Amino acid sequence: LNDHYVHLAQKDGYRSRAAYKLLEITERDHILKSGMTVVDLGAAPGSWSQVASQKVAPKGRVIALDILEMLPLPGVEFIQGDFMEEIALSELREQLEGHQPDLVISDMAPNMSGIAVSDQARSMYLAELALLFAVEQLNLDGSFLVKVFQGSEFDSYLRDMRLLFKNVLIR
């Protein structure tokens, strides 16, 4: 409650402090551009979708997916479903209408248990699923932004990313 970014998010109308992570990355790396199609995996409560929709407007689109409910956002199409189930992924592919996204973003995190090894492993599993989706769905020059917790599986994940993408940056 005393966090500066929590107060700033409330003042600026963002749903959570996570908006500032994406704003900072976007300012530094210019990953969000007008007209892009963006898929936001694990989108709730919606702050990354909020930022993305503002940056890709007016001709771009944002499709958000989360197992949790998310209140509607202007310029964001929302699918409620479990990212690990084919039915949610099928609906997402249907929403894409045969188009390939320019950018896949994922700020997904599992419900935290407080057991660091377990939490990191479950986080990496979600990151691996997001990577698989990105590789299958992105257009040829597409980009992928994912939050991961560093731990025992991080180096292996980074190696995989470097095999699959031309440029890999750690922020």
pLDDT digits (tens, 9 = 90+) for 60-112: 999 999 999 999 999 999 999 998 899 998 999 899 998 999 999 999 887 78
User: What pLDDT is stored for residue 37 in this prediction?
Assistant: 97
| Residue 37 near residue 101, CB atoms below 8 Å | yes
Burial class (CB in 10 A: 0-12, 13-18, 19+), 167: exposed
User: What pLDDT is stored for residue 115 in this prediction?
Assistant: 84
Annotated catalytic residue: which of 33, 55, 147, 166? Answer: 147
Q: What is the mean pLDDT of residues 140-155?
A: 91
With 90 as the cut, is the pLDDT of residue 15 above it? yes
User: What pLDDT is stored for residue 169 in this prediction?
Assistant: 95
CA proximity to 52, closest of 31, 79, 29: 31
Can you tell me which residue has the tokens 């929403």? 95
User: What pLDDT is stored for residue 145 in this prediction?
Assistant: 98
pLDDT digits (tens, 9 = 90+) for 21-30: 999 999 999 9
147 is catalytic: yes
User: What pLDDT is stored for residue 120 in this prediction?
Assistant: 84
- pTM, 2 dp: 0.93
Average pLDDT score over the chain: 93
